[in-house]
Structure 1
């Protein structure tokens, strides 16, 4: 198969070369007869680990992959809805079989045919390599992969009607790679990937300096689910200092600054006439975890009392002003989060809003006091609250100082606020050291399931990530039901109902949802359209 592909690729490459010579001259002027935009420049402080999808599972690396690799499934711009990418069709043909039919005449930028063999190769090599920095853990649902012909791929899964599987195909584990360029059992070097032109996304990489500069060139053979790239060329500049990126976008040396400027820098740039600060829904969430064993009146505390422990959680939920923290600490680069699934996701609601505080999203000390009085809790309640100063950003100290002040201003709580560096923090929080503590989360894929199952599906066989001793058989059952529920409306209701159940018990206290932020020259178009709930920044949608 590989020999035939290579032969076909050589013929196609020769033809492409003849066409490309004239195309190059027309694109150097910044446009073409088709109206596509000229060169665009974008800055970031994110870093690339490797270009090989099997060896990286981070924002910086996946950003590049989104631009240059093809995906079987993609997110529809402006939504968190999934659609076909290079797939012509994709669906369950049996409860445990997900069949993908590829579009005809797919090719990589090097001229090689893109077939079912490449798809099978792409996923099997990830599970074979099992790189500790890679996303192979997202592919545990796959039992085997069959390719009946060059255009058909059948994934045999270990869970019936798994509604998250199409989302996995659109995420960090989803890039389809060229089996003639990538190694089957080892990470392929960046330079080999670039030299091999193993790309079939909206762009291909024309020049590459690791974590310094990447030049993207529009790939004319792109045949994914989206439109062709609106800019003929994009230069991506990598910064080690966000201050330098801020200065460059301010003076027009780059057109767009994306990830990550400080809240103070963003607030400053909002006042510049030549710039627009674009904000979109973000997938990152920040929250407090309650350890059901060691929190005040927890199951293994000196005075265990389930009702009193719940009342303390309810009183805390009524005392915290999320909007004030978002504004004062994060300059509105975060927004209040009133439930467990963030805004923009299927099934998202605001389940905490109507239960706690002033029932409009604000704090209410009287409501907090009533929860404690009704349960017979003596005040002030002594709380030990832990946060991390290095893993969740430099503003974590200010964030949790604000939480402490808000709680103590009610005269209902006395807060012992402590911090621990991440390496020790990660060990301590799962070993019952902290009664209450800070965590954050960025999703593996854009779906409510990823904000629920890892945290709250808790059994002896499959312990939850939180390790906070919260377990509810009814919630476990609903979590399993929603994964396999093919009816979108019924699944959305299940996800909403699960959040309502959680809001009554408060195993965690959601605080903030991060906005996606991009600062761009006022002449740049398409930024708002790509800052959507898929959390994928598409260079192909930008132009000037």
Structure 2
């Protein structure tokens, strides 16, 4: 078994990808046929969401995986994980002691894929555009600490921040901070359809059927200059209706790589194989799953109801029955391996207890059983989500304190996220793939102003005191005190209820090289790492 180690400074411990089954050659090739990668992510243009691939709108792991191949950012991540490094930029850094002024110098002779020079004004245009459009999806909030953007000449960009933000270099590595060609994008309107014009490692040609992108064809951009070493000439990302269909295509050789989302059974079967022509890569991940609450809804408005749910739910049993060794129970919204994590929910509630939950409800004057519906998405986080919610339903109803029903929706076709944002769900299941590996990114997207959930819950102490204080600390260990207090407040008020943290997997045929680097701990596809070698 071949092992390689990745180091993520913001994460405690080592991230070690593990390859099972046969191993291919380590030497890749940039030539040959296109490498075909399968996914169960869907990319659909709807009336309510006409611009699925616009960086000022897109804010889910699937669309970001398309944008990261095509849209270049000032900063990016090196092979594997680690602190962000200059990509479109030649250099970047804070120029003051208070972390409120951040300056970048662009690489010389940087060009968009059509050969047009990339300038500092293009950087300014792209980020101000996202802030101007301010799409309800909430991705613009990643740039919300920007006050003004100054340019000097064609290559220097200076960001003046409203408040100290030590996480700002990480935010400049996200697609919303991507540099766009102004001739192809309006400054105050989203770009509809599936076209992308930028300066990233690949250009995109979308194959569309019934307003859905069924295949994204990525071709190496000859004008790309940056941090990344592109090891192939072409990659095709093909969407499948199910994990089973994707797995069958891999077995037949119709695709070369199987990415998210595989089922637990598929992973177990591939893990058990000691020979064959398919490699399974496993690595610790930073993905989390949680329940969210509309804290203004009658059924869960009283926090005693939410606390009782936190007291009853048995995470260990949930993980064991649904995901086995592929996940771990999680007791905070901050992933367990990220600096600043604390087991806030375990500290407050201890082991699952029906009697303690009953006491909480009785003291609050709540009549039992509490009737409510938990909503989940059937297709966005994998086929096992339905079983996960069936187990949660069984646990809560078995307590005698709840009368829970569950209802599933498709992510795009049923507009699951919009329904949640409009407050149509009292309780809902969501997942989170971090924008960057810092504790702030497990808190502010849900609890800060302009958050992605549009939650009615507000903690002024978190928003106005603890988050700003934590962002002043460039040494993230020094922010631990504030971050711990935030997690304790969440455990007390339960606007969100963390469930589990998952591992990351990718499967590839044995003539594909670089598969161990083709996905990082945040589920970001790094297709430029793939090559075609010799069968094992």
Q: TM-score range by the shorter chain?
A: 0.7 to 0.9
Distance in 2 (CA, whole Å) between partners of 1:344 and 1:131 is 31
Q: Please point out which of 29, 36, 39 is paired with 1:41.
A: 36
Q: Please point out which of 85, 88, 96 is paired with 2:87.
A: 85
Alpha-carbon distance change, 523 to 345 in structure 1, aligned in 2, over 3 angstroms: farther
Alpha-carbon distance change, 51 to 421 in structure 1, aligned in 2, over 3 angstroms: closer
Q: Please list the CA deviations of residues 192-230 of structure 1 after superposition, one character each: whole Å capped at 9, or x if unmatched.
A: 75xxxx44323334x54232333333345433233x112
Q: What residue number does 1:437 align with?
A: 427
Q: What residue number does 1:452 align with?
A: 443
Q: Which has the higher contact order (CA 8 A, sep 6+)?
A: 2
Q: Structure 1 length as normaliser, TM-score?
A: 0.74
Q: What residue number does 1:10 align with?
A: none
The 8 Å contact of residues 250 and 269 in structure 1, kept in 2 or not, is answered as no
2:156 counterpart of 1:165: no
2:83 counterpart of 1:68: no
The 8 Å contact of residues 380 and 413 in structure 1, kept in 2 or not, is answered as no
Shift of residue 380 of structure 1?
A: 10
Q: Please list the CA deviations of residues 360-418 of structure 1 after superposition, one character each: whole Å capped at 9, or x if unmatched.
A: xxx4x4xx536766997699953334211446666555323322433455xx5432012
Q: What residue number does 2:158 align with?
A: 154
Distance in 2 (CA, whole Å) between partners of 1:182 and 1:426 is 25
Q: What residue number does 1:533 align with?
A: 521
The 8 Å contact of residues 53 and 195 in structure 2, kept in 1 or not, is answered as no
The 8 Å contact of residues 339 and 477 in structure 2, kept in 1 or not, is answered as no
2:388 counterpart of 1:399: yes
Distance in 2 (CA, whole Å) between partners of 1:183 and 1:374 is 53
Distance in 2 (CA, whole Å) between partners of 1:429 and 1:52 is 21
Q: Please point out which of 108, 111, 115 is paired with 2:115.
A: 111
The 8 Å contact of residues 374 and 407 in structure 2, kept in 1 or not, is answered as yes
Q: Please list the CA deviations of residues 164-187 of structure 1 after superposition, one character each: whole Å capped at 9, or x if unmatched.
A: 433332213121123355455555
Alpha-carbon distance change, 479 to 123 in structure 1, aligned in 2, over 3 angstroms: closer
Structure with larger Rg = 1
Q: What residue number does 2:497 align with?
A: 509
Alpha-carbon distance change, 418 to 166 in structure 1, aligned in 2, over 3 angstroms: same
Q: Number of residue pairs matched?
A: 482
Distance in 1 (CA, whole Å) between partners of 2:418 and 2:115 is 49
Distance in 1 (CA, whole Å) between partners of 2:395 and 2:195 is 55
Q: Please point out which of 461, 479, 485 is paired with 1:491.
A: 479
Alpha-carbon distance change, 526 to 338 in structure 1, aligned in 2, over 3 angstroms: farther
Shift of residue 241 of structure 1?
A: 4.5
Shift of residue 338 of structure 1?
A: 1.7
2:278 counterpart of 1:275: yes
Alpha-carbon distance change, 390 to 342 in structure 1, aligned in 2, over 3 angstroms: same
Distance in 2 (CA, whole Å) between partners of 1:473 and 1:192 is 42
1:92-491 mapped onto 2 (5 Å cutoff): 92-94=94-96, 96-128=100-132, 135-157=139-161, 159-184=162-187, 186-187=189-190, 198-205=197-204, 207-210=205-208, 211-226=213-228, 228-271=229-272, 273-280=276-283, 281-287=285-291, 289=293, 291=295, 309=304, 316-330=309-323, 333-358=326-351, 363=352, 365=353, 369=355, 382-390=369-377, 395-407=384-396, 409=398, 413-419=400-406, 437-442=427-432, 445-446=435-436, 447-456=438-447, 465-468=454-457, 471=459, 473=461, 477-491=465-479
Distance in 2 (CA, whole Å) between partners of 1:212 and 1:164 is 35
For residue 182 of structure 2, give the secondary structure of its aligned residue in structure 1.
coil
Shift of residue 256 of structure 1?
A: 0.7
Alpha-carbon distance change, 471 to 413 in structure 1, aligned in 2, over 3 angstroms: farther
The 8 Å contact of residues 124 and 157 in structure 2, kept in 1 or not, is answered as yes
Shift of residue 507 of structure 1?
A: 4.3
Distance in 2 (CA, whole Å) between partners of 1:75 and 1:532 is 10
Distance in 2 (CA, whole Å) between partners of 1:370 and 1:121 is 55
Shift of residue 313 of structure 1?
A: 5.9
The 8 Å contact of residues 288 and 431 in structure 2, kept in 1 or not, is answered as yes
* CA RMSD across the alignment: 4.1
Distance in 1 (CA, whole Å) between partners of 2:446 and 2:310 is 19
Distance in 2 (CA, whole Å) between partners of 1:82 and 1:144 is 22
Q: Structure 2 length as normaliser, TM-score?
A: 0.75
Distance in 2 (CA, whole Å) between partners of 1:444 and 1:371 is 31
The 8 Å contact of residues 80 and 344 in structure 1, kept in 2 or not, is answered as no
| Structure 2 unaligned blocks of 5 or more | 1-24, 44-50
Q: Please list the CA deviations of residues 230-277 of structure 1 after superposition, one character each: whole Å capped at 9, or x if unmatched.
A: 223323223345433221112222111122334444445545533233
For residue 486 of structure 2, give the secondary structure of its aligned residue in structure 1.
helix
The 8 Å contact of residues 145 and 163 in structure 2, kept in 1 or not, is answered as no
Shift of residue 152 of structure 1?
A: 0.3
Q: What residue number does 1:21 align with?
A: none
Shift of residue 66 of structure 1?
A: 0.8
Greater percentage in helix:
1
